Every structure is written in C-alpha cells, then in structure tokens.
Amino acid sequence: MSGSTSSWYQCVVCGTPDDVSDQAPATCRVCLSERPSVEELEIRVVQAAAKLRATVDAYNRHCHNLNYARDQWEWLRSSTRDSARRFHAERAIAAQGAMLSLSNDVRAPIDRCLARLPPPHWLDDVLSLDGSNAWDIDHMLPYFYQDWNGTGDFPAMRDRICAAIADHASAATRLLVVGAGACGLVRDLAISGFEVHALDLSLPCLVLASRLLRGDTLEVTISHKFERDWRNTVLLGAAPFVTPPRISVANAARLPIQDGTFPVVVTQNLIDVATNPTQIIVEIARVLEESGLWVNIGLPFGLSNEPPELGPICDDALEPVLRDLDFELVSLERRACRLSDTGLFDWPEVTTHWPQISVARRGSAVLSETPDLFQGFRAGTSDAVWSCRPRRLPGRLLRGGPGSMAVSDASAVVVRWIGVKADGRTPLATLRSEAHSVDPRMTDLDILEVVRHLSDEGMLALG
C-alpha cells in the first residue's frame, strides 16, 4: 500500500537510501537487486525472487494437504449412514473448498510477479529458508478475526501500546510496526493520526491485510482445532485513511529502513518467536532516533548467542540485557490475556497467557561505528567482509543441514561445508579460496549470501 514518502527506506542488500523521486523502483540503482511488488506490497528482502518461489512452493504443499483432507471427507460422506457425520463431512468439504479458493486468490498475484523475475538460482532453496515459508493463512485467520472484529486479547493489547506511546512519546507523529501480522494494530494507529509504516515477513498474510486496509470486505471460513468445526465470517475493511499506512514484506533481522529515522518502533508477538532476537533488537536500535521509544508486547524471549535450553530471560534480568543493547528500560509489566476468547466458537476452555509489555528508550551510542560489511561489499565500498570469521552459535541447527528442512543435495553440501568452517577462527577469505572444490558453480557472491542468510537467521555469528 502506498505511503506518503519513501525517504525513510533503504536497499536491504547494499544499504543505499531510496531515491525519493522514485516511489517504487523495481531494482536498486547501485547493486541492481530486485525489489518486486505484489498488489503494491513491496518485497524488501535480500533474496526477493527466492522468497516468492518459496511462498509458491509452500502454497503447493498446503493445497496438496487440503485436497487430501477433502478427499478423506468425501470418502466419509459417501460411506457413512449416520446423518450427523454426513452433515459434518459436508461442512468440512465446503470449508476446504473455501480455503482452496482463498489460497488460489492470494497466489494469483504472486505468480504474475514471479513471471517478471529472473530464473531460479541453484541455492535458492537455502536462501529462502527464513522461518515464514508456511502457507499460514488458515493459521492466521483467527488472528485476523480478533484484529478486525475487536475480540480476544487484541483490544487490551492495542490500548496498552497506545497508552505507552501517549505517555512516553506524545510528540511522535510517525512510527514503525515490526511484525504487523493481521494489521489490526496498523489500522487503529493510522486512524489515530499516525503516519504508520508496517513490516512483516509473511507475504500471504500481508496480501489479505492490505486488501482489508484498502477497504475490501473478505468472507472467510475459519477452522477450529478443538471443535473440529468451521465457521463462516465476514471481515469488514477499513474506512479511508487520511494518511494510508505503508506495509511491506521484510525480515525483522534486516530492516529496509535508514538509520535513526523513526521516533517509535512497536513490536508485537515477534521477539519471542524469532530465530535471531538479538539481531532484531540491534536493528530496532539502529532505525530508532536517539532517545526513540521501543514498545514490545510478547512472551519473554531468549538471546541469539545462548543455547535454547537456557530458556527465556526472566523479568528481573531484562533491564541489564537491554542496557547492553543500548536501551534503557522505562517500564515492564505482565498482564493476563485471553488468547482464545474470539467469539467465533462456543467452548468452555480459554487459553490465558501472560505477555510482557515493555517500554524502552534507545541510548546515544553511535551505531554506525559498526557498518554492515555485507552491505558495504554489495555497494562496492569495502572488501572488509572477507576478514570476518563466522562462528556457529550454540544449539543452533543450520537450516539446510542434516536433520533440518529439506533442500537439494548440492545446497546441503554447501551448508555443511560452511558449518564445519564456522569455527570462529577461519576467515571468509579461506572459504573463498576453497569454494570451487566444494562446487564449481559457487561464486564469491554465493558464499557471502549463504553466510549472510545463516547469520540473519541466528545460526552464525560474525567475528
């Protein structure tokens, strides 16, 4: 969705600021990386074409599962003599058909976008493993219902966020929402008069959310795992905005935002589920103005450089952790939230959780003293990246490696090779000299892109 300006954005590949005279350039003017759009949604990730292809692949798996489930329900309907079971099967068949129709409708603009992009690269299956490749529309629909009908925990969380901004950043007129999801918060903040910029990594979710933000009405069928039932509902689109929010597909660990540009950043249910929470917090600090406000709602989170077995940070330990990341903790509270009280289903159990609601202010450290070496290489300004010594983080399973998500044999060989070399002592220059013995197709850029990807996903640290 178009916004008022592009001056706050930059290329995620090389760090070049957007040219304000061109609101939606198809490629970066420096590194020539693609920046495609799907229904006016800019895809601002490092490997945009690979991301889109992975989304379509996930769609194909999703539709295969839907068709298989529908076949099973068809068999039950034709074989049972019980009228209640037959009626239930007929409802399930209709629900599966509605989900297929919605999924096909979302996939169509993605296919049109892909037709204009370069052909697949042999390492795309590794470079697109970013933790969001599930076709998660059916999983997200209950959250769409909560956000767009004001049920569940959404109103309470929205009010807490708005109160924190009013109390600690009352002069702010512009803010960034990272992990926008169903975009109900984006809608309400825009209605309140903010210039809202919103990012999320799930393209299917943002396609639906952007339609609602444009004012479209969506009829959806939502499944319920406890009742094994389905409900039809209508999501009403937003009224016209004075300043329409701008939403884009982006990775929170590599934000397409220039340094020090936003007075407020809001994250919701993101840090605690991310694969690289520390890097996301560093990125939030980078894009915030000095003394800018970060409001976070979610369950307690851990740090990227610690084994997952250590578990999340307790409330008492959060302040020193944030201080080390150049944040001053302003306030921290816990509130019970009724997650499953959506109004869609009549069932007695209500899932309650206790999220942290934290407000922190960015310090005055000069973050630009540590430039992004990958971006410097792609911009043609520095070769310092080759002196980096990657190190595998404890307890992290390399995506594409043994026991992880399936990739081609050739890609798995590359990931295993990098994993072995990532001992904290071997510079990337050494990998550069050995690359052709691993796979003759491998270029310098291939090495850097795989290492950057594994670093962004919280599997490697760079020293």
Dump pLDDT digits (tens) for 299-311: 899 888 887 777 8
Same domain, 176 and 141: yes
Q: What is the CATH number of the domain that holds 319?
A: 3.40.50.150
Same domain, 89 and 148: no
Q: Is residue 18 part of a domain?
A: no
Q: Is residue 11 part of a domain?
A: no
Of 67, 95, 127, which marks where a domain is finished?
A: 127
Number of domains in the chain: 3
pLDDT of residue 310: 77
**How many Å is the Cα radius of gyration of the chain?**
23
Examine the pLDDT at 228 and tell me if it is beyond 80: no
What is the percentage of the chain residues whose pLDDT exceeds 70? 88
CA angle 39, 44, 47 (to 5 degrees): 110
Nearest-angstrom CA–CA distance, 3 and 390: 38
Of 332, 364, 396, which marks where a domain is finished?
A: 364
Same domain, 449 and 342: no
**Which DSSP state fits 296?**
E
Nearest-angstrom CA–CA distance, 178 and 161: 13
Examine the pLDDT at 370 and tell me if it is beyond 70: no
Same domain, 49 and 152: no
Q: Is residue 120 part of a domain?
A: yes
Tens-place pLDDT, residues 111-158: 999 999 989 999 998 888 765 555 667 788 888 998 998 887 888 889
Q: Is residue 360 part of a domain?
A: yes
Same domain, 162 and 187: yes
How many residues make up the chain in this entry?
463
Nearest to 200, CA basis, from 189, 216, 184, 215: 184
pLDDT of residue 3: 41
DSSP conformation letters of 173-233: -EEEEES-TT-HHHHHHHHTT-EEEEEES-HHHHHHHHHHHTT--EEEEEEETTTTEEEEE
Q: With contact defined as beta carbons under 8 Å apart, do 46 and 13 qualify? A: yes
Q: Is residue 114 part of a domain?
A: yes
Q: Which of 30-39, 217-226, 310-319, 422-431 has the lowest mean pLDDT?
A: 217-226
Instruction: Write the CA distances from 87 to 74, 77, 97, 107, 382, integer angstroms.
Output: 11, 8, 15, 30, 66
Same domain, 193 and 88: no
Nearest to 247, CA basis, from 287, 285, 196: 196
Domain hosting 96: range is 37-127
Q: To the nearest 10°, report the CA torsion of 179, 183, 187, 192.
A: -30
Examine the pLDDT at 317 and tell me if it is beyond 70: yes
Q: In the 3-class helix/strand/coil scheme, how is 230-268 assigned residue by residue?
A: EEEEEECCCCCCCCCCEEEEEECCECCECCCCEEEEEEE
Q: Which of 78-82, 188-192, 262-266 has the lowest mean pLDDT?
A: 78-82
pLDDT of residue 422: 94
* Helix locations, 18-149, DSSP H: 48-79, 83-114, 124-127, 137-149
Tens-place pLDDT, residues 252-278: 999 999 999 999 999 998 999 888 999
Alpha-carbon torsion (378, 379, 382, 384), positive or negative: negative
Of 315, 330, 364, which marks where a domain is finished?
A: 364
pLDDT of residue 366: 54
Nearest to 177, CA basis, from 361, 168, 165: 165
Q: With contact defined as beta carbons under 8 Å apart, do 40 and 447 qualify? A: no
Q: Which of 38-42, 171-175, 342-346 has the lowest mean pLDDT?
A: 342-346
Beta bridge partners of 197: 176, 246
Sequence letter at residue 59: Y
**Which DSSP state fits 30?**
T
Examine the pLDDT at 324 and tell me if it is beyond 50: yes
Q: Is residue 112 part of a domain?
A: yes
Model-level pTM? 0.92
Sequence letter at residue 453: H
Examine the pLDDT at 394 and tell me if it is beyond 50: yes
Examine the pLDDT at 223 and tell me if it is beyond 80: no
Q: Which residues contact 32 (CB under 8 A, 6 or more apart)?
A: none
pLDDT of residue 398: 61
pLDDT of residue 209: 96
Same domain, 113 and 149: no
Bigger pLDDT: 153 or 402?
153
Q: Which residues contact 346 (CB under 8 A, 6 or more apart)?
A: none
Bigger pLDDT: 231 or 214?
214
pLDDT of residue 399: 55
Phi/psi of residue 266, nearest 5 degrees: -120, 130
Alpha-carbon torsion (162, 166, 168, 173), positive or negative: positive
Provide the pLDDT confidence category of residue 1 given band limits of 50, 70 and 90.
Answer: very low
Same domain, 201 and 242: yes
Beta bridge partners of 235: 218
Provide the pLDDT confidence category of residue 232 given band limits of 50, 70 and 90.
Answer: confident
Examine the pLDDT at 319 and tell me if it is beyond 60: yes
Examine the pLDDT at 404 and tell me if it is beyond 70: no
Nearest-angstrom CA–CA distance, 336 and 250: 30
Q: Is residue 179 part of a domain?
A: yes
Burial of 188 from C-beta contacts in 10 A (0-12 / 13-18 / 19+) = buried
Same domain, 450 and 310: no
Q: Is residue 77 part of a domain?
A: yes
Instruction: Write the CA distances from 27 to 12, 38, 79, 381, integer angstroms.
Output: 12, 14, 56, 19
* Helix locations, 80-116, DSSP H: 83-114
pLDDT of residue 10: 94
pLDDT of residue 154: 86
Q: What is the mean pLDDT of the chain?
A: 87
Examine the pLDDT at 4 and tell me if it is beyond 60: no
Provide the pLDDT confidence category of residue 314 given band limits of 50, 70 and 90.
Answer: confident
Examine the pLDDT at 357 and tell me if it is beyond 80: yes
Instruction: Write the CA distances from 265 to 27, 113, 173, integer angstroms.
Output: 27, 30, 12
Same domain, 142 and 261: yes
Same domain, 123 and 142: no
Pairing state between β 262-268 and 174-178: parallel
Q: How confident is the model over 9-22, as a mean pLDDT?
A: 86
pLDDT of residue 128: 85
Beta bridge partners of 251: 254
User: Tokens 């999924």 belong to which residue?
Assistant: 103
Examine the pLDDT at 338 and tell me if it is beyond 70: no
Q: Which residues contact 145 (CB under 8 A, 6 or more apart)?
A: 151, 222, 233, 235, 342, 343, 344
Same domain, 304 and 155: yes
